[in-house]
Amino acid sequence: MAYSEKLVDHYENPRNVGSFDKGDDSVGTGLVGAPACGDVMKLQIKVSPEGLIEDAKFKTFGCGSAIASSSLVTEWVKGKSLDEAATIKNTDIAQHLALPPVKIHCSVLAEDAIKAAIADYKAKHGQS
Amino acid sequence: MADGNSDQIGGEVRPNIQLPIYLDYQATTPLDPRVLDAMMPYFTGKFGNPHSRSHSYGWDAEEAVEASREQVAKLIGADPREIIFTSGATESNNLAIKGVALFNKDRRNEIVTVVTEHKCVLDTCRHLEQEGFKVTYLTVKTNGLIDLDELRAAVNDKTVLVSVMAVNNEIGVIQPIAEIAKIAHEKGALFHTDAAQAAGKIPLDVNAMGIDLMSISGHKIYGPKGIGALYVRRKPRVRLVAQMNGGGQERGMRSGTLSPALCVGIGEACRIAREEMAAEAVRLDALAHRFHDKVKAKLPDVFLNGDETQRIPGNLNLSFAYVEGESLIMGIKDLAVSSGSACTSASLEPSYVLRALGVEEELAHTSIRFGFGRFTTEAEIDYAAETIIARVSKLREMSPLWEMVQDGIDIKSIQWADH
């Protein structure tokens, strides 16, 4: 399968691989997917007291498209407010990386991951 | 990197290795140069139709075809008159299974086969089910081998054919062919084996093993693509309905003009295989162990799929836990391997063979088939092992599953989303 240059670049040089302390109050963690379907994404955001995402990290078990999708999302969310980050659409990810049709689910998973991380952070802070 | 002259891994300059390294010998093999040499005259000068009876062009071509038939027969202990040339193992399997089933349909209408068979056997059986045959698909044990008691229970006096592959194409395990044949014969059924991955790799003797029909492929044994053979026993005679009608070539079982060049190719490939099989098996076994040992020494949680001893030496199907197979293949472009998982197809399903073994889905997603063959070198093995070790380590560093396991979390205790 021929992949786009951007996708291969994110796969070969993934941005923001790593983990924050889950217990840290300023951190929101999203864990989505399932090992049995071959995709698991863990995406974490670190939120400043002003409510801006100042850093993001990911770890992904999945195909190259899944790794690239999560890597891209960590770049996109940085500097955004939680509400802004929540507007990231899987279609934007798929378009940016030129995902082939059978890989669209990877971008859906990345969107789910960021939403889950935001929800986790909000839950920690008593927001809905 | 891929200039094919020299390569650097960890600052070490490598000798001449052509990249990507071909490690997919179960998919196909390159033509042995000796095979090509034998074939060449039959494309141009000796181009006759082997079925022409009125001139030397035809006679020469026929002589070459018959000499090749003898080479194929010799490899499996058969009589040359029992060898039918076909276009490949897929056609041989179709002809054997459909041919025998249809010939005997008024007498017996059940077939027994195995869930891990090649798609062309399974698909042929599915087709016969639509035609009214009853097919039993045996499961396999976790080592990939069938349970002979389960076979015994499945075969009855309505069974016309038992079809079990000699060697599995994904995991390389060798089924107990002689015992299977015996069980089939006890109930009066015929025994067919798809030996595409076995012929030329392990000793086969149709009489000693009680084989009634056997499919062989040219291009799996360093011969050309586009030709195969079907062994059809003469004593006692196995009869089948031809699937290709026409001029009645190949004793009426497979009409169509033979290609002398291709016949010579598979014949020469069989001759070389017969003469070199024993030495080649020892060499491939050493290469496979060298690769496996190197990988195991550097990477924990690597699992071999399929029985550890009942296997051909040129195949290793390994699961690298906590790393997804397709991303691994993407990262090892220097190695031409295939994923046990069919993730590259639209199905996104892990291999049906590994699932049949009961390999957990998460592990089935992480498997790679390494196939070693006649032209694999030690230097290639070393390069491949280092490439795999480096990439698996890198992917594990970014795997949330690997992280959880390192933190002592049981992945199975987590409530994963539905899929």
Strands ordered across the beta sheet of B190-194: B83-86, B228-232, B213-217, B190-194, B159-163, B110-114, B134-138
Cross-chain Cβ contact B419/A34 below 8 Å: yes
B365 in contact with chain A, both atoms CB, cutoff 8 A: yes
Predicted complex ipTM? 0.93
The residues that bridge with B113 in the sheet, in sequence order, are B137
Q: What are the structural domain ranges in chain A?
A: 5-121
C-alpha pair distances (Å), B104 with each of B22, B138, B250, B273: 44, 22, 21, 35
Largest CA distance in chain A: 45
- What are the φ/ψ torsions at residue B317 (nearest 5 degrees)? -105, 110
Cα B376 to chain centroid distance, Å, stands at 18
Q: Shortest CA distance to B180 belongs to which of B194, B191, B195, B196?
A: B191
The residues that bridge with A39 in the sheet, in sequence order, are A34
Domain A5-121 is of which CATH architecture? Answer: Alpha-Beta Complex (3.90)
Is residue A80 exposed (0-12), middle (13-18) or buried (19+ Cβ within 10 Å)?
A: middle
Q: Under DSSP, is residue B208 helix (H, G, I), strand (E, B) or coil?
A: helix
C-alpha pair distances (Å), B125 with each of B67, B213, B342: 34, 16, 22
C-alpha pair distances (Å), B295 with each of B12, B93, B152, B397: 19, 37, 40, 17
The residues that bridge with A40 in the sheet, in sequence order, are A33, A61
Query: Tokens for B218?
Result: 């040219």
Q: Shortest CA distance to B258 belongs to which of B237, B229, B238?
A: B229
Q: Do residues A19 and A25 make contact, with C-beta atoms less than 8 angstroms apart?
A: no
Cross-chain Cβ contact A67/B327 below 8 Å: yes
User: What does the pLDDT look like over B116-161, one tens digit per residue?
Assistant: 999 999 999 999 999 999 999 999 999 999 999 999 999 999 999 9
Rounded Cα distance, B362 and B319, in Å: 9
Choose the closest CB to A59 out of B361, B400, B417: B400
Name the pTM for this structure: 0.90
- Show pLDDT as tens, one digit a residue, over chain B (419 residues): 344 444 445 445 566 789 999 999 999 999 999 999 999 999 999 999 999 999 999 999 999 999 999 999 999 999 999 999 999 999 999 999 999 999 999 999 999 999 999 999 999 999 999 999 999 999 999 999 999 999 999 999 999 999 999 999 999 999 999 999 999 999 999 999 999 999 999 999 999 999 999 999 999 999 999 999 999 999 999 999 999 999 999 999 999 999 999 999 999 999 999 999 999 999 999 999 999 999 999 999 999 999 999 999 999 999 999 998 889 988 999 999 987 544 444 445 678 898 899 888 778 788 899 999 999 999 999 999 999 999 999 999 999 999 999 999 988 888 887 65
Q: Do residues B325 and B366 make contact, with C-beta atoms less than 8 angstroms apart?
A: yes
* H-assigned helices in B114-215: 119-130, 148-154, 177-186, 206-209
Give the distance from residue B345's alpha carbon to the nearest chain A alpha carbon, in angstroms.
8
Residues 6+ apart with CB under 8 A from A128: A122
Q: For an interface test with B, give the residue of A4, A63, A97 to mutate (most B CBs within 10 A).
A: A63
Give the distance from residue A61's alpha carbon to the nearest chain B alpha carbon, in angstroms.
5
Cross-chain Cβ contact A35/B361 below 8 Å: yes
- Antiparallel, parallel or unpaired: β B367-371 and B315-320: antiparallel
A30 in contact with chain B, both atoms CB, cutoff 8 A: no
Cross-chain Cβ contact B330/A64 below 8 Å: yes
Give residue B210's pLDDT: 98
Q: Which residue does chain B place closest to A58, by CA atoms? A: B398
Give residue B187's pLDDT: 98
Cross-chain Cβ contact B324/A38 below 8 Å: yes
B299: left (phi over 0), alpha (psi -120 to 50) or beta: beta
Residues of chain A with Cβ-Cβ distance to B350 below 8 Å are 38
Rounded Cα distance, B279 and B130, in Å: 46
User: What does the pLDDT look like over A19-75, one tens digit per residue?
Assistant: 999 999 999 999 999 888 889 999 999 999 999 999 999 999 999 999 999 999 999
C-alpha pair distances (Å), B212 with each of B117, B121, B187, B274, B372: 18, 16, 14, 21, 30
Residues of A involved in catalysis:
37, 106
